[in-house]
Every structure is written in structure tokens, then in C-alpha cells.
Amino acid sequence: MTTSKKVRKAIFPVGGLGTRFLPATKAMPKEMLPVVDKPLIQYAVDEAVAAGIEQCIFVTGRGKGAIEDHFDYSYELQDTLEAKGKKDLLSEVLAPVRTPGAITYVRQQEPLGLGHAVWCARNLVGDEPVAILLADDLIKSGRSCIAQMLDVVEQEGGNVIAAMEVQDEHTHRYGIISPGQKKGAITEVNSLVEKPAQGTSPSNLAVIGRYVLQPEIFDELDRQEKGAGGEIQLTDAMARLIGKQPFHGLAFDGERFDCGDKLGYIEATLAFGLGRDDLSDGVRSIVKSAYQSL
């Protein structure tokens, strides 16, 4: 099976409360936390755009206005930078701004779970396959992770989710794949379990925050059933698509950082800092001296 329609749209659910980062997230969306000098949400949008995504749909909530401002013009700042001749900074400020209509926003009135957030975008997606990116899962890769997933959709059809091996003691934190046949980095998904109790996980293959799903996902989400943690879970809706449509996990080429978690965020800052020509020497010497003082 191959998909009939090109994947043109991506959903960015940014309606969560970000409680693990309080008080930083009291007045600022978690997705605006910077890694080095770029907010998490911009990394995710850049990844989608690099994969050819044309329309970004943000599912926002109260207190998320800074995200809209980030992707818009900032006339006062632009004028000031222009007057001072700071061309490089000016192009950084303009980089996130997209053509009018290329970003749309819908509000998730209550944070009822990731599945609910995705469902809130149903009328903007319509009858098309869609990519979904969770900005707090930051991916460092050569080729865009979503682009790698679109290759698999092209090849296998149906639905593709990003997957990653995790340690036994961490399986209870993730949606876990019960694996079928394997073809290189691509694993057929037999079933999915959201946050299995310790010792009951069907594998170590965890689902991370990148999905390319067919529009039938919205029929499943229409049921609005609550799952683990009393939330409407995307995993439960995806699990019901398995068997009806091809469903694969891709062990993508790249590294994932859980920036919704403090340690993951610190790790990401170091990795991205080390990856920058202008900062790597400085970061290396900071890490070395911190290591010596342990």
C-alpha cells in the first residue's frame, strides 16, 4: 500500500501545562524554553519544514501567546536591529516568520491529554495524512526525522511512528511497541501499550514524539475515551488503527532528548552546544572543569 495523498500538514500540540518545569513554565510556555539560543518549538518547526511540510497547525492553550509572537514579525526589534546594522541578528529574528496562512492556531480549551490535543486539529487537517511533532522531544539528526519517516510512509504506506530502544527500567514512562516483523530500521507494530507497569512491557521499543498518521486517526479520537492517567491518549487511538492499516515504527537515525524533563533538557543543551562551531570549545572546557570538580 502507498499513501494516496502527500503529507502537507503537521500538528504541534503545545497545550500541555509543563508542570515538570515549574516555576519556569508559570508564565512561559514549555515549548519556548531555549536550547542554546533557539526555542524548542522552532527546532520542531524547522524539522517539519525541512521535510516539506507546508502547513503548521499549533494546538495551543491559555498562556501560550509567546509562541504566536515568536513566529510573527517584531517590528520594534527589527527596526532597532536594522538601524544598528545588525544584519545577522535581524535574519535570526526573521527566520521563524512564515508566509501568512502557513501557520494556523487552534485552542485546546482544557489539557485533557495528547489525543485530545490532536483531535482539536481535526477540522484544520481534514481528510489528509498528517505529521505530529512534540516539541519537547528534541531530535538531533543529519536528515530531518520527519523526512526519514515520510520515506517509510512512501515505502510501506499507512502510519509510521518514531521509535527508540530504552532501558528496561524506563519502559513504564513511554508508549511501547509490541513488535512484529523487522526490516532493517523498520519494525511492524503489532500493538501499542501506553506506560506499561514495570515488568509487563512487551519490548524495549518506545514511541517518541514524532508520528505520521492517516486521517482515520480522527475517527478513533472521536470516541474521546480516557486512558492511562485519566487522559485521552493518542496511543490508544493509534492502537485501534493497527490491523486496519499498515503500522510501522522507525528506529530513526539521530539522537532524541527529552526536554520535558530537567535532566534531558540539560543533556540537550550540552549536546547542541557541543555541536556548535562557535561554542564547542567553550562548552568542552566547562564540562571538563565540572568533571574534575566531581
- Widest CA span in the chain: 62
Check residue 261 and report its DSSP letter.
S
Record the cell numbers describing residue 25, joined without a space: 513554565
**Closest CB to ligand UTP among 22 and 94?**
22
Pattern 247-266, ligand UTP, x by CB under 6 A: -------------x------
Our finding on whether 63 is near ligand UTP (CB under 6 A) is: no
Our finding on whether 106 is near ligand UTP (CB under 6 A) is: no
Our finding on whether 129 is near ligand UTP (CB under 6 A) is: no
Our finding on whether 9 is near ligand UTP (CB under 6 A) is: no
Our finding on whether 64 is near ligand UTP (CB under 6 A) is: no
Our finding on whether 15 is near ligand UTP (CB under 6 A) is: yes
Exposed/middle/buried for residue 73 (C-beta within 10 Å: 0-12, 13-18, 19+): exposed
- The reply to whether omega before 23 is within 30° of 0 (cis) is yes
Our finding on whether 39 is near ligand UTP (CB under 6 A) is: no
Q: Outline where DSSP puts E strands in the chain.
A: 9-13, 34-35, 38-39, 55-60, 103-107, 130-133, 137-140, 159-165, 175-183, 186-194, 205-213, 247-251, 255-258
Binding region for ligand UTP (CB under 6 A) out of 11-19, 50-58, 87-95, 152-160: 11-19
Rounded Cα distance between 181 and 3, Å, is: 21
SS3 264: helix
By Cβ distance, which residue is nearest to ligand UTP? 16
Check residue 83 and report its DSSP letter.
H
Minimal distance in Å, beta carbon 118 to ligand UTP?
Answer: 8
Under 8 Å between Cβ of 103 and 53: no
Our finding on whether 17 is near ligand UTP (CB under 6 A) is: yes
Binding region for ligand UTP (CB under 6 A) out of 132-140, 147-155, 178-186, 199-207: 132-140
**Closest CB to ligand UTP among 96 and 111?**
111
Rounded Cα distance between 180 and 97, Å, is: 42
Q: How many CB atoms lie within 10 A of CB 273?
A: 19
Binding region for ligand UTP (CB under 6 A) out of 86-94, 114-122, 158-166, 281-289: 114-122
Under 8 Å between Cβ of 137 and 22: no
Record the cell numbers describing residue 7, joined without a space: 503529507
Our finding on whether 240 is near ligand UTP (CB under 6 A) is: no
Minimal distance in Å, beta carbon 195 to ligand UTP?
Answer: 10
Our finding on whether 134 is near ligand UTP (CB under 6 A) is: yes
Our finding on whether 30 is near ligand UTP (CB under 6 A) is: yes
**Closest CB to ligand UTP among 113 and 175?**
113
Under 8 Å between Cβ of 270 and 154: no
Which residue in the set 52, 96, 111, 215 belongs to the binding site for ligand UTP (CB under 6 A)? Answer: 111
# binding residues, ligand UTP (CB under 6 A): 21
Our finding on whether 175 is near ligand UTP (CB under 6 A) is: no
Residues binding ligand UTP (CB under 6 A): 13-20, 30, 59, 108, 111-114, 116-117, 134-136, 260
